[in-house]
Amino acid sequence: MAPKLRILSPKRNKRLQTGWEGFFPYYAGFPELFARELLQSAKLQSGAVILDPWNGSGTTTYAASSLGLTSVGIDLNPAMIIVARARLLPPSEADHLQPLAATIVSHAHSALPTLHPNDALLCWFKPSAASFIRGIEQNIRRSLVGSMTKSPEGVHLDRISGTAATLYVALFAVCRKLVAPFRSSNPTWLRIPKQTEARIAVSRQTVARCFEENVRDMSAALASKFDADTPRAGECEINLSDTVSMKLDPGSVDFVLTSPPYCTRIDYTAATRIELAVLGPLLSTDARALGKQMIGSTQVPGISIDIDEKWGKTCARFLETLQKHPSKASGGYYYRTHLDYFDKMSRSIGRMSEALKPGSRAVLVVQDSYYKDVHNDLPKIISEIAGRHGLSLKRREDFHLRSMSDINPGRQSYKRPSGATESVLCFAK
């Protein structure tokens, strides 16, 4: 019999994110302790492969790697690929970070790049500030993004070194701090100022100091993680890929731990707008096209989609109620974006299931939500979809939480319970 899984609350707890962990905040992430306990309790054989197809900030791959387990993390958002790779940087690299940051800053001071007029940094920063930030970025790229990372199709973000990724994360944090005036209570939203005068002016010295301080703090936090008794880090691959079309060898995965994108009209690319702006010269797709490709996209799909019987009865009932809802655009825009969500989700779960070995397990953390006053019982829907793809639900643990859907402005106008239920669904193939 498979060992019983230890399931802690998957609710994000900022207080637990201290030290090195504190540098990888992600509103959509689950806690490292949740992932670590769960993976440890699975008692996987050495050489077993763990997959997180929606790896986000890389909590699963980080926990697996620190337990000495092999893992593969996938995400479609380039910013999250960088974050997940940085998180894996070994403590032995801590000493190199500060001298590298000092050299990068000094090169940025000596030659400022000419900004492209469409540089996305200009959405929030005045030209002189944007140009210095780009200068730091350009120097990270020139000195640390090696030829291995480049090909005729562009830069392979998933091959970027942990050191380069860490310096990018330090620069992300500088920009996040500086654009704080454009944030609202919704963690996924970053406003772009309409008036150019409202854009941020900041001196080069301030940007440089902030960057070097971040690197110093990251280096100290990383160094303090060193523990001679820690097992050798497990091998890990972080891949930039779309789960709808991901290519994984059939039967190559021993365990899945993941949390699929929410169905609450969250644009995962909007939440990382500033990070994507920093990464601009490394990206081959623009943020809008990327947003459309995401599961949970707020853009209407370009193709017509029909309900598939693989989505199950609960999903069909939910979509029917949504389509008939009297509120504006329910039968049009909202219906079509929900069809897009379930279509992508079902195809992705199909691919994930094919990659799993017979007898292996998959744990999915899924949150329910409301469309106006209509309950979207996503844990049940995902269980039914997974069932149609050969995964049977063996256990379900529910946790109540204050959720993203509470932040949604429509909440007050409709009668519905506050918060959301986050379910940990355990499947077996």
Ligand X SMILES: C[S@@+](CC[C@H](N)C(=O)[O-])C[C@H]1O[C@@H](n2cnc3c(N)ncnc32)[C@H](O)[C@@H]1O
- Interface positions with ligand X (CB under 6 A): 26, 28-30, 54, 56-57, 59, 74-77, 80, 242-244, 259, 261, 268, 294-295, 344
Residues near 31 by beta carbon (within 8 Å), at least 6 away in sequence: 8, 9, 10, 11, 12, 13, 16, 17, 59
**Closer CB to ligand X, residue 216 or residue 292?**
292
What's the rounded Cα separation, in Å, for the pair 134 and 354?
42
Q: If we measure between CA atoms, which residue out of 33, 36, 29 comes closest to residue 50?
A: 36
In whole angstroms, the minimum distance from the beta carbon of 126 to ligand X comes to 30
Minimum Å gap between C-beta 219 and ligand X is 23
Could you give the CA distance from residue 380 to residue 378 in angstroms, rounded to a whole number? 5
Q: Is 62:32 a contact under the CB 8 Å cutoff?
A: yes
Nearest-approach distance from CB 304 to ligand X, in angstroms: 19
**Cβ 160 to ligand X, closest distance in Å?**
17
User: To which residue do tokens 């941020």 refer?
Assistant: 200
CA distance 55 to 242: 12
Nearest residue (CB) to ligand X, 135 versus 261: 261
Strand 49-52, strand 70-75: pairing: parallel
Closest residue to ligand X using C-beta atoms: 56
Instruction: Kindly state the smallest distance separating residue 83's Cβ from ligand X, in Å.
Output: 8
Instruction: Give 80 or 356: the residue with its C-beta nearer to ligand X.
Output: 80
The CA-based angle 317-318-323, given to 5 degrees, is 100
Nearer to ligand X, 149 or 272 (CB): 272
Please answer whether residues 326 and 372 qualify as being in contact, where contact means their C-beta atoms are separated by less than 8 angstroms: no
In this complex, which beta carbon is closest to ligand X, that of residue 58 or of residue 234?
Answer: 58
Between CA 279 and CA 290 the distance in angstroms is 13
Owner of token pair 């707890």 = 13
Task: Compute the least distance from the CB of residue 107 to ligand X, in Å.
Answer: 32
Smaller CB separation from ligand X, 56 or 379: 56
